[in-house]
Amino acid sequence: MTAPPSGFTPPAAFTTRPTLEGHFGMSASTHWLATASAQSVLERGGNAFDAAVAGAFVLHVVEPHLNGPGGDMTGLFATADDPAHPIVMMGQGPAPAAATIEHYREQGLDMVPGAGALAAAVPGAVDAWLDLLEHHGTWELADVLEYAIDYADNGHSVLARVVGTIGRVQELFTEHWPTSARLWMPEGRIPEPGEMVVNHAYAEVLRRLITAGAEIDEAETWNHGDSRAARIRAARTEWKSGFVAEAIAEFVRTPHRHSTGGDHAGVITIEDMSGFDAGFEEPVTIEFRGHTIAKIGAWGQGPVLLQALRILDGFDDERLDPSTELGAHTILEALKLAMADRDTWYGDGDVDLEWLLSEDYAASRRALIGERASREFRPGTGRNGAAARFAPPLVTEGADREAMLRAGLGEPTVQKDTVEKNGVNNGDTCHIDVVDKWGNIISATPSGGWLQSSPVIPELGFCLGTRLQMMWLDESSPSALSPGRRPRTTLTPTLISKDGEPVMALGSPGGDQQEQWQLLMILRILVGGYEPQQAIDAPALHTTSLAGSFWPRTWVPGGAVVEDRLGDEVINGLIDRGHVVTRAGDWELGRLSCVTRDPRTGKLSAAANPRGAQGYAAGR
């Protein structure tokens, strides 16, 4: 990827690690075992999509506090055969048929819980990964799943963050979720960091998915396509209407503790599972500094990044540098405006993105950015000045966090201030990027189904996700809870192209921070001329002045969280401008990774987040 003329000055050349360079293939993810597995697939002749699927199933095993098979995912990819057309990988399941506002209100709820089966959308991640493998991969399912089966059956060293997460919800497990306690607290104790842990039940699930198509051969599929694809389709069917769906539907019928403190049964059924199909969609795109930025649609928060870039594109370059007081202030204010639009207008329905991404609209929003930090919630108006029908309730931050942690807080590993709790560094979700020598490239963000989301389904070795907590029990909201509607997910990777060729795939965990941290990286690379690892290592910041996506949906008026490495001069300048600043420590914010490709030379590169000493890139 060729750096542009510098719009502002990059830092000194020091980085925590080099930006990897080569021409054969590159992988990057939030866990070194997933990166190593993906790179192993490339080395054995698989393409980027084979590699990404293998790495993703490993993430289920090694980062169970951040994602799971019962969760969801979104991705963006481009194929070597059709590089000019990036594709959205849609793995966000909808609300079940019985997930109605009336039912939840009858349960005494005014908000979708942050933990427990009532918060579960139809699991979408596994079907989405298998869909990608079926249509764009080359490997057999058994070969792709070999890595995850090995780590689940033969063990892996448990992360300190996994141990810390189990410790925070230990009381919930022992008193209310005994199936979770049996899996995650063997012999009645919390495992030690580095201890080898196993998940035999999940390994068996993967074997049974492979077995579902084992009898299919070429003779049976001569008039219906190749047998490899048919075997994968058989596994998808087994997942959605076979033993997995049956176990889920049966388990959730028994009431269990939710984050609200009450006991409720779930509503998901076999029909909900079998009625969902992951698929591919067209992305939403804008042009920025000679590049095409592709995101998922407004059924997720993807267009927030595009709106922020539209607003910022009208400023001089000096106002786009996150490492300066003026740049940090400008970026924070642009993000507040884009997030207010997200919380007011976005949802799985008819969203007027043509208007929200127009230059006229961006200019009107840009004019609202002054020299002082705003502490107001300021969504824009629709076309012709139309006012939004919905205003999210703005609950000021200040709830009992320890109580929320014990109850399985909505996105338990991401708190508003992202400051260390109980000795455990916060992070959330997972991410993986892969590019191969042929030019196939993918960025994907799997999440949900955290071990603290709801009780483990014992015969499956995993629990359901909690994505419905992003929906409102308010009929006027564009993201109101409604059967068949997708929750407005925060999962949102990015694909960047130039002259019709993909040049960069990137993303980050982080809930409401995903777009914010990616914005910093994009500005630093496309405007500032940073190398990828420089951009990832650079000090990060984000706003908390938004309606939180996760239960209990709080906000911090004027809130800004910064890494201390931003420097006292910049931080004090932000405070003087009226930002309510929380110092997070030197290396606490951002979980970014990326891969790049130069179409002219075939040169590939990769970089990964050093924070937490967990994310790694590999390649040659």
pTM of the model: 0.94
Which string of b and e fits 260-297 if b means at least 16 CB within 10 Å? beeebebbbbbebbebbebeeeebbbbebbebbbbbbb
Sheet holding 604-608, edge to edge: 20-22, 604-608, 593-597, 501-507, 494-498, 291-295, 284-288
Nearest CA to 124 among 356, 313, 299, 283? 299
Give the angle 57-275-484 at the CA atoms, nearest 5°: 100
Amino acid at site 429? T
Q: Following DSSP, what letter does each residue of 100-146 receive, concatenated?
A: -HHHHHHTT-SS--SSSGGGPPPP-HHHHHHHHHHHH--S-HHHHHH
Q: For 289, which DSSP code?
A: T
Backbone angles phi, psi at 442, to 5 degrees: -150, 145
Report d(CA 605, CA 108) in Å as an integer: 52
The answer for 373, left when phi > 0, alpha when psi is -120 to 50, beta otherwise, is beta
Which H/E stretch holds residue 262?
Answer: none
Question: Taking the chain (620 residues) in consecutive chunks of 10 residues, what is each chunk's mean pLDDT?
Answer: 63 83 98 98 98 98 96 98 98 98 96 95 98 98 98 96 94 96 95 96 98 78 73 97 98 95 96 98 98 98 98 96 98 98 96 97 98 96 91 72 42 38 48 98 96 96 96 95 97 97 96 96 96 96 93 89 97 98 94 96 97 94
Around Cβ 419, how many Cβ atoms within 10 Å? 14
Is residue 561 a contact partner of residue 584, using CB atoms and an 8 Å limit? yes
Is residue 123 a contact partner of residue 70, using CB atoms and an 8 Å limit? yes
Coil/strand/helix, residue 200: helix
Look at residue 218 in the predicted model and tell me its pLDDT.
Answer: 58
Look at residue 13 in the predicted model and tell me its pLDDT.
Answer: 61
HSE (CB half, 13 Å, CA atoms) of 452?
Answer: 30
Around Cβ 2, how many Cβ atoms within 10 Å? 12
Look at residue 4 in the predicted model and tell me its pLDDT.
Answer: 55
Backbone angles phi, psi at 232, to 5 degrees: -70, -40
Backbone angles phi, psi at 44, to 5 degrees: -95, 10
Look at residue 394 in the predicted model and tell me its pLDDT.
Answer: 83
Is residue 276 a contact partner of residue 240, using CB atoms and an 8 Å limit? yes
Tokens 């069917």 sit on residue: 237
Report d(CA 256, CA 506) in Å as an integer: 38
Look at residue 532 in the predicted model and tell me its pLDDT.
Answer: 97
